[in-house]
Amino acid sequence: MTGCTGVIVVEDHELLADGLCRLIEDELGWCVLARVVNGLDVYRACVVHRPALIVLDLGLPGMDGVDVIRQCVQRWPELRIVVHSASDDGERARQSLEAGAGAFVLKSSSRTTLINAVSVVMRGDRFIDPAVFGIVHDPTGMPLASKPGAAELPERLLTLRERQVLKLAAEGQRNRDIAQLLSISVKTVETHRLNMMRKLDAHNVADIVRWAHRLRMLL
């Protein structure tokens, strides 16, 4: 396996993960170093395996896919990431690319499209699925800016840890469960939760769930 391009597949649907692994190993001749099903485990897998590429589904339990991208790219700027998404939501595509992903490809697209995306990204260029290109670019081909005033939105004030707590709380995890998942103390979770709720003006679990849906953290 010396010289083999290492890939981590992040996909919580087993059949899709199987297909991705076959494509990567049989058609590209690369090596799948690990398969990950939870957003919280992606960073840890990268620490262990040091992949050249991640093929990532955004809709994961544990941690929002965009936050996973941001966290990994900040630590490994040279890491290539291809988002493989079931959603053609233009805002999610834009968020993924702004966070540092090199490509955004729909799961409904052909294998050829995905292979092209991977090849382009590994060359250091960017690839956007033709099916969503018009959503994230204007007619001249220039990237569309984020929505006006986005920097002032309350959710932009959240830290990465506060976003992790928000997602896990919205998934129904209790503070002690969140503490275990994030390897921090319950008191620290409580502090992050209070800060997050204050910034979002959230007063109960229902408000937290509504914010998670608004931020597209929940399917």
Same domain as 156, residue 128: no
Same domain as 163, residue 74: no
Same domain as 75, residue 33: yes
In a domain, 203, yes or no: yes
Is 6 within 8 Å of 33 (Cβ atoms)?
yes
Render pLDDT for 113-172 as a digit per residue (tens, 0 to 9): 999 999 999 999 999 998 886 665 544 344 444 444 444 466 678 898 999 999 999 999
Model pLDDT, residue 142 = 43
Q: Give the domain extent around 156.
A: 150-214
In a domain, 219, yes or no: no
Print burial letters for 10-32: b (CB count within 10 Å at least 16), e (below 16). bbbeeeebebbbebbeeeeebbb
* Alpha-carbon Rg for the chain in angstroms: 18
Same domain as 63, residue 14: yes
Q: Which of 136, 168, 201 is the last residue of a domain?
A: 136
Same domain as 156, residue 120: no
155 secondary structure, DSSP code = G
Same domain as 117, residue 38: yes
**With bands split at pLDDT 50, 70 and 90, how would you rate the model's confidence at 90?**
confident
Q: Which conformational region is residue 2 in: left (phi greater than 0), alpha (psi within -120 to 50 degrees), or beta?
A: beta
**With bands split at pLDDT 50, 70 and 90, how would you rate the model's confidence at 47?**
very high
In a domain, 103, yes or no: yes
In a domain, 1, yes or no: no
In a domain, 11, yes or no: yes
Same domain as 192, residue 85: no
Same domain as 172, residue 132: no
47's tokens: 């620490």
Q: Which of 79, 103, 136 is the last residue of a domain?
A: 136
Model pLDDT, residue 43 = 95
CATH number (domain holding residue 16) = 3.40.50.2300
For range 85-91, the mean pLDDT: 87
- List the alpha helices (DSSP H) in the chain: 14-22, 42-49, 65-75, 90-99, 111-122, 130-136, 160-170, 175-182, 186-200, 205-214
Q: Is a pLDDT exceeding 70 seen at residue 46?
A: yes
CATH number (domain holding residue 199) = 1.10.10.10
Is 175 within 8 Å of 184 (Cβ atoms)?
no
Same domain as 186, residue 164: yes
In a domain, 142, yes or no: no
Same domain as 101, residue 10: yes
Same domain as 201, residue 166: yes
Same domain as 111, residue 20: yes
In a domain, 145, yes or no: no
Q: Which of 110, 136, 162 is the last residue of a domain?
A: 136
For range 10-31, the mean pLDDT: 95
If one counts the domains in the chain, the total is 2
